[in-house]
Amino acid sequence: MSPALANAFRLLRFDLYGYLDEIEFLVNDLDDADSPELRLIGELVPGLVTTIRGMLARHVPNKEGFCPVCSIIPGGRQFRRESWPCREVQTIHDLLKDPDGVFAKVMAASSSP
């Protein structure tokens, strides 16, 4: 994998992790919210963010630029070479960055006065 491609992959991972950090930070104070719905969001989001981080951590490109998780089947046999970003990382990216999705709404709500 070229240094430029490795850097692009690193930037994508950092962007996704940074976005997750920001979402978690925004809901950090919801534990003390007046609304039970907001308190529930404050309780659930950190666990969801941790789950998404764990999924991203498993799907890191190898030195050839392929996802080692998506390139094997149970039992350890390699059956295809899944280029990175693999389908799982693409799905996470699409869901997190969807302008009409729930994460975008959390970000927009927190930035409004």
What is the tens place of the pLDDT at every residue in 48-72? Answer: 999 999 999 999 888 888 888 887 7
Encoded tokens for 65: 């630029």
Rounded CA separation 79/76 (Å): 9
3-state secondary structure of 78: strand
Question: How many other CB atoms are found less than 10 A from the CB of residue 103?
Answer: 21
Q: How confident is the model at residue 80 (pLDDT cuts 50, 70, 90)?
A: low
| Predicted structure pTM score | 0.76
Each residue's pLDDT tens digit, 81-91: 678 888 899 99
pLDDT of residue 17: 94
pLDDT above 90 (res 103): no
pLDDT of residue 113: 54
Rounded CA separation 42/106 (Å): 11
Rounded CA separation 2/16 (Å): 22
Question: How many other CB atoms are found less than 10 A from the CB of residue 56?
Answer: 19
Each residue's pLDDT tens digit, 6-40: 888 889 999 999 999 988 888 877 767 777 877 78
